[in-house]
A and B are shown apart, each in its own frame.
Chain A
Amino acid sequence: MRTVTVTVCTGTACYILGGSELLTVKEKLPKRYSKYIILQGSSCMNRCGERSEKNRPPYVSVDGEIYGGVDMERLVELIMEAVGGDVC
């Protein structure tokens, strides 16, 4: 397990199309994960013009890897995968 930096795009498009909800992700994760996560907002990642299912707001980067069309469930998955190992 390791510490993971989670960056939620808070450009206007991402924020109003689901990004603000993603900023509450820590509540959806098991408590023991909290200390492994650095959660932050970022300025526009300049990809909001795209509209396909995977490439659309809201964008999130997990340790520098950018994902589009992320909902809460997907973000929780991504984070748990990235933190990895037996978290206790």
Chain B
Amino acid sequence: MLTSRNEAGYLRTRLIETIAQAAFEGTLMEKIDRIPLELRPRSGDSSRCCVYKDRAVIRYRIMALLGHAVEEETDELRPLADYCLESLSERRRPSPSLTVLDIACSSCRDGGHIVTDLCRGCVARPCMTNCPKKAITIIDGRARINREACVDCGKCRQVCPFEAIAFRTVPCETACPVGAIAKDDSGKAVIDENACIHCGRCSRSCPFAAIMERSSILPVIELLKDGNAVAMIAPSIAGQFPGTVNQSVTALKLLGFSKVAEVAAGAEKTTEREALEFAERRSGGSAIMGTSCCPAYVRAVKLHAPEFAPLVSETPTPLTFTGREAAERFPGAPRVFIGPCFAKKAEVLETGAAEYVITFEELGALFLARDIDVRELEESLPDLRAGDGQAWGYASSGGVAENVARYIGGSGKNLTCPTVSVDGLDRKALNRLKAAAAGNGPEGLWEVMACEGGCICGPGTVGHPKIALKALEKKISEGLTEEARAS
């Protein structure tokens, strides 16, 4: 797995900034087809084989940033300005499906253990003797792995004294928790939309950054120019930007949002409702309930572990509750959810809880485009706020179940709520859910987070998870102190 911030991430954020700057100025239509040339001048360095290839890749990145799928291109000569016009005129909401930049994809070769040139065909042959499947033979003084027999257990790699055995991996395929990525005839990655859960892990693990989300920044910038949009901020915003959350609130207002709503406010309602739902289910004899707020996991259950689906809570997500309240409190104002998550784009298409979704990375790029330095701003209070700050805990793994369990424990009926945390979705986690549905799992509230670590580790984040967790804990404790002072 790549570190959260790397060269590919740097280039992507800066490209979003460049596009946003021109969009705010109203010069995007004139400039857009020149941007690839300006970012990769003929005399400059290239990231790939040459500047021309870099420019082509930037062109496709821009298409994704305009909300288009690279796969929909039918004419390579179609100007970007055309795509731009289309996005602007319809202010369209892009599909949540990720897009593969086929020319950026390196067609990584299939994975598995391979013997490298470091092999000396030694006499001890620990690889051969330790292989549980007898998949290794020594031919011409060198170990060979029989791919048919090999199960990629890795024992040979561990015991080789020359470190001659390597594991060749295809990062996107390895990262995908549901096996939704395959290769076409030319070896390029292809995403099966009917299996994809929009967790975004492939896009952030590809070292060529060849998989991108389709962005809504263009229509959102238009809303900001209109000046009446509501920003609904996910609790995981803590630690994404320098300074405090309430300084980020000021930054959002400077950017052009008219109102700011904490999605933590909706999380309080989710907690309450989920606690009631769990109590009802328990009295009905069902002792396992899965949380409902992570859309990538909910979709994964639907598509890949349907036996667990009846156990998933039907309680609306914090975003849904917040979207409803924002619509009541600020009638007519378009709502933009700002979070760490790609899967929320699919969620709002289903629920209508927000008009658009953008990520923290995109928001950060908008701040840069408008030269807003969050750290230097005064604080301001959001227009829609959560109570004591506990609900902010939803942003990290364990926090959702903790909130619900605390609510149940505090309800005065002498009830307890056992909790189970499934921290990060993978094949094993899906199997755990299937087993639980078959009655082989501990009873309790099962909190499932698709991203290991929770939302603060989502694909759309820019703050380091450890720093974000510290900021989050601070936000929660400040909320508690404030509440105590008020009462």
**Residues of A near any B CB (own CB < 8 A):** 10-13, 15-18, 20-21, 23-24, 27, 41, 43-44, 51, 53, 72
- The answer to whether B242 touches A21 (Cβ under 8 A) is no
Contact partner of A20 among B45, B372, B467, CB < 8 A? B467
Residue B165 is within 8 A (CB to CB) of chain A in the complex: no
Interface string of B367-405 (1 = CB under 8 A from A): 110001111100000000000000000000000000000
Q: Which residues of B contact A41 (CB under 8 A)?
A: 242
Q: Which residues 150-192 in B have Cβ within 8 Å of A in the complex?
A: none
Interface size range on B against A: 20 to 34
Q: Which residue of A13, A23, A53 contacts B467 across the interface (Cβ within 8 Å)?
A: A23
Across the A-B interface, the 4 shortest Cβ-Cβ residue pairs? A16-B364, A16-B462, A10-B242, A21-B464
CB within 8 A of A51: which of B4, B5, B14, B364?
Answer: B14
20 examples of A-B residue contacts, CB within 8 angstroms: A11-B242, A11-B375, A12-B364, A12-B374, A15-B463, A16-B13, A16-B241, A16-B462, A17-B13, A18-B10, A20-B462, A20-B463, A20-B467, A20-B468, A21-B4, A21-B464, A21-B467, A24-B467, A44-B375, A53-B45
CB distance from A27 to the nearest CB of B (A): 8
Q: Are A17 and B10 in contact (CB under 8 A)?
A: yes
A43, B376: Cβ atoms under 8 Å? yes
B43 touches A (CB below 8 Å):
no
**Residues from chain A with Cβ under 8 Å of B242 in the complex:** 10-12, 15, 20, 41
Besides A15-B375, A16-B240, A20-B5, 9 more A-B contacts (Cβ < 8 Å) are A10-B375, A11-B373, A12-B242, A12-B374, A15-B241, A18-B10, A20-B463, A23-B467, A53-B45
B467 partner residues in chain A, CB cutoff 8 A: 20-21, 23-24
Given A17-B10, A20-B239, A21-B4, are A43 and B375 also a contact pair (CB < 8 Å)?
yes
Which A residues are in CB contact (< 8 Å) with B487? none
Known A21-B4, A41-B242, A72-B3; judge A16-B463 contact (CB<8 A). yes
CB A54 to nearest CB in B, in angstroms, measures 12
Number of inter-chain CB pairs below 8 Å: 65
Whether A24 touches B5, Cβ cut-off 8 Å, given contacts A11-B375, A16-B364, A17-B10, is no
Select A24's contact among B45, B241, B464, beta carbons within 8 Å: B464
The answer to whether A12 and B5 have CB atoms under 8 Å apart is no
Establish whether residues A21 and B5, one from each chain, have CB atoms under 8 Å apart when the complex forms: yes
How far does the Cβ of A26 sit from chain B's closest Cβ, in whole Å? 11
Instruction: Type the 1/0 row for B443-467, where 1 means its CB is closer than 8 Å to any CB of A.
Output: 0000000000000000000111011
Taking Cβ atoms with an 8 Å cutoff, the residues of B that contact A are 3-5, 10, 13-14, 45, 239-242, 361, 364, 367-368, 372-376, 462-464, 466-468
Instruction: Tell me which residues across on chain B come within 8 A of A24, comparing CB atoms.
Output: 464, 466-467
Q: Given A17-B5, A23-B467 in contact, is the A12-B10 Cβ separation under 8 Å?
A: no
Using CB atoms, name the residue of chain A closest to B471.
A20
In Å, the complex CA distance between A21 and B14 comes to 18
Alpha-carbon distance A15/B360, docked complex (angstroms): 12
User: Could you tell me the distance in whole angstroms from the C-beta of B326 to the nearest C-beta in chain A?
Assistant: 26
What residue of chain B has the Cβ atom nearest to residue A19's Cβ? B242
Shortest distance from the beta carbon of A78 to any chain B beta carbon, whole Å: 18
Q: Measured between alpha carbons, how far is A21 from B3 in the docked complex, in Å?
A: 9
B464 to A12, Cβ gap below 8 A? no
Q: Beyond A17-B5, A20-B462, is A12–B367 a contact (Cβ under 8 Å)?
A: yes
Complex alpha-carbon distance, A12 and B5, angstroms? 15
Shortest Cβ distance from A22 into B: residue: B464
- In whole angstroms, what is the CA distance A16 to B468 when docked? 12
CA separation between A16 and B368, bound complex, in Å? 10
Residues of B within 8 A of A12 (CB): 241-242, 364, 367-368, 372-375
Chain B residues with CB below 8 A from A21, complex form = 3-5, 464, 467
Bound CA span A86–B272, Å: 57
Q: How far is the CB of A75 from chain B (nearest CB, A)?
A: 13
What distance in Å separates the Cβ of B69 from its nearest Cβ neighbour in chain A? 26
| B240 closest partner in A (C-beta) | A16
CB neighbours (8 Å) of B463 from chain A are: 15-16, 20
Across-interface contacts of B468 in A (CB, < 8 A)? 20
Bound state CA distance, A1 and B324, in angstroms?
Answer: 60
The answer to whether A44 and B376 touch across the interface, beta carbons within 8 angstroms, is yes
Find the A residue at minimum CB distance from B251. Answer: A12
Bound complex: CA A34 to CA B463 (Å): 23
